[in-house]
């Protein structure tokens, strides 16, 4: 499933194809994926200039000059494919839901076999209060995700810190892998009550969440050479993990006695696997 860094990578690819360009033609091949696709969508997109593209949580928002915004979510299996004007010709696949022809002749296709994605159109002024975004918490890479704000939110939460940082209402886009890794780097036991973090620990955690996501974005970006298929299974699978999926193995620079501790532990929290080092995370 694409996580925040993968979506950021897809976004940077789309920017290259769409920024300051007009959508000449649009075709919708689908009535319903996760949402009902608006009937007038293709018409509303055609002959409209793209005035901005950004990411919010795992959604991509494309603002048009007619004060409408396209909302895209890759779901479990979505990819954005591009067909260069002088390259391979587009042949519709049954999993294709959207086709766009841009002003410069390049084409963009949204393909989602498992149909958990979103393809919607909203008035630009209603995007932030829409059902997609109204409940979402802080953007982890923005300045609003600060130690002060996070501590204020966590001060009343008894839930385990691992589950708190994966709660989209608190902070968006910290997936299971990144949560385990950030807590390891911060030396925080994932089972700790969220409110119990000290100022120092919260500072480390905010810093490490940001740096791990940035590193993952950088990795996703650097492995993305072929923009004909924006997205796909790159990104975090190529990252080196400290604890994630390393049950029973030593953690990096391990000083713990692995014979005694059994190495990295795996537990289940909120139906998700958590990996941590018992001696380094307190
Ligand atoms: Zn260890």
The domain spanning residue 209 has which CATH number? 1.10.8.50
Q: Is residue 262 in some structural domain?
A: no
Pair 213, 138: CB distance under 8 Å = no
Q: What angle do helix axes 199-223 and 147-154 make, rounded to 10 degrees?
A: 120
Pair 111, 117: CB distance under 8 Å = no
Alpha carbon separation from 111 to 36, 54, 85, 160 (Å, rounded): 16, 20, 19, 37
Q: How close is the Cα of 155 to the center of ligand 1, in Å?
A: 29
Q: Is residue 264 in some structural domain?
A: no
The CATH code of the domain that includes 91 is: 3.20.190.10
- Element spanning 150, H or E: helix 147-154
Catalytic residue set: 2-3, 58, 272
Q: Is residue 90 in some structural domain?
A: yes
pLDDT one digit per residue (tens) for the chain, 282 residues: 778 888 898 998 899 999 999 999 999 999 999 999 999 999 999 999 999 999 999 999 999 999 999 999 999 888 899 898 888 889 999 999 999 999 999 999 999 999 999 999 999 999 999 999 999 999 999 999 999 999 999 999 999 999 999 999 999 999 999 999 999 999 999 999 999 999 999 999 999 999 999 988 887 654 444 444 554 444 444 567 899 999 999 988 877 788 888 899 999 999 999 999 998 999
**Per-residue pLDDT, 230:** 59
Tokens found for residue 56: 């919010």
**Per-residue pLDDT, 28:** 97
Tokens found for residue 183: 């807590």
**Per-residue pLDDT, 115:** 94
Among 12, 74, 59, CA closest to 173: 59
Rg of the chain taking only CA atoms, in angstroms:
21
Q: How close is the Cα of 170 to the center of ligand 1, in Å?
A: 29
Instruction: Classify 205 in phi/psi space as left (phi over 0), alpha (psi -120 to 50) or beta.
Output: alpha
Looking at 239, 259, 277, the residue that finishes a domain is: 239
Q: Is residue 140 in some structural domain?
A: no
Number of compact structural domains in the chain: 2
Q: Is residue 46 in some structural domain?
A: yes
Q: Do 27 and 107 reside in the same domain of the chain?
A: yes
Q: How far is 9 from 269, CA to CA, in rounded Å?
A: 29
Q: How close is the Cα of 262 to the center of ligand 1, in Å?
A: 9
Q: How close is the Cα of 184 to the center of ligand 1, in Å?
A: 9
Q: Do 110 and 178 reside in the same domain of the chain?
A: no
**Per-residue pLDDT, 216:** 84
Alpha carbon separation from 105 to 61, 148, 212, 219, 273 (Å, rounded): 22, 48, 37, 30, 46
Q: Do 108 and 178 reside in the same domain of the chain?
A: no
Q: Do 185 and 87 reside in the same domain of the chain?
A: no
Q: Do 8 and 121 reside in the same domain of the chain?
A: yes
Range of the domain at 99: 4-126
Among 163, 211, 164, CA closest to 185: 211
Q: Is residue 115 in some structural domain?
A: yes
- Element spanning 210, H or E: helix 199-223
Q: Is residue 255 in some structural domain?
A: no
Q: Is residue 267 in some structural domain?
A: no
* Residues recorded for the chain: 282
Q: Do 95 and 163 reside in the same domain of the chain?
A: no
Looking at 69, 94, 126, the residue that finishes a domain is: 126
**Per-residue pLDDT, 14:** 93
Helix, strand or coil for residue 247?
A: coil
Q: What order of strands is seen across the sheet that includes strand 22-28?
A: 118-123, 68-73, 59-64, 48-56, 22-28, 96-102, 107-111, 79-83, 229-230
Q: How close is the Cα of 251 to the center of ligand 1, in Å?
A: 4
Q: Do 84 and 160 reside in the same domain of the chain?
A: no
Q: How far is 24 from 123, CA to CA, in rounded Å?
A: 20
């Amino acid at each position: 499933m694409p996580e925040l860094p993968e979506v950021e990578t897809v976004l940077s690819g789309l920017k290259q194809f769409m920024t300051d360009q007009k959508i000449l033609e649009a075709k919708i091949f689908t009535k319903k994926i996760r949402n009902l696709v608006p009937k007038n969508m293709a018409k509303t997109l055609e002959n409209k200039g793209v005035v901005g593209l950004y990411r919010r949580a795992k959604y991509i928002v494309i603002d048009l000059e007619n004060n409408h915004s396209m909302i895209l979510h890759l779901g479990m299996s979505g990819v954005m494919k591009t067909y260069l004007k002088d390259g391979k010709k587009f042949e519709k696949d049954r999993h294709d839901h959207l086709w766009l022809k841009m002003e410069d002749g390049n084409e963009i296709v949204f393909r989602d076999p498992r149909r958990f994605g979103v393809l919607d159109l909203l008035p630009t002024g209603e995007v932030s209060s829409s059902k997609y975004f109204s409940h979402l918490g802080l953007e982890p890479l923005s300045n609003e995700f600060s130690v002060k704000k996070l501590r204020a939110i966590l001060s009343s939460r008894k839930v385990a810190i691992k589950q708190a940082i994966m709660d989209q209402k608190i902070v968006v886009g910290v997936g299971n892998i990144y949560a385990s890794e950030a807590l390891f780097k911060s030396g925080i036991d994932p089972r700790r009550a969220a409110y119990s973090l000290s100022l120092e620990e919260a500072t480390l955690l905010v810093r490490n969440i940001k740096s791990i996501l940035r590193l993952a974005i950088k990795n996703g970006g650097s492995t993305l050479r072929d923009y004909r298929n924006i997205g796909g299974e790159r990104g975090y699978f190529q990252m080196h993990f400290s604890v994630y999926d390393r049950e029973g193995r030593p953690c990096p620079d391990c000083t713990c006695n692995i014979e005694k501790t059994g190495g990295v532990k795996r537990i289940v929290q909120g139906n998700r696997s958590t990996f941590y080092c018992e001696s380094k995370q307190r």
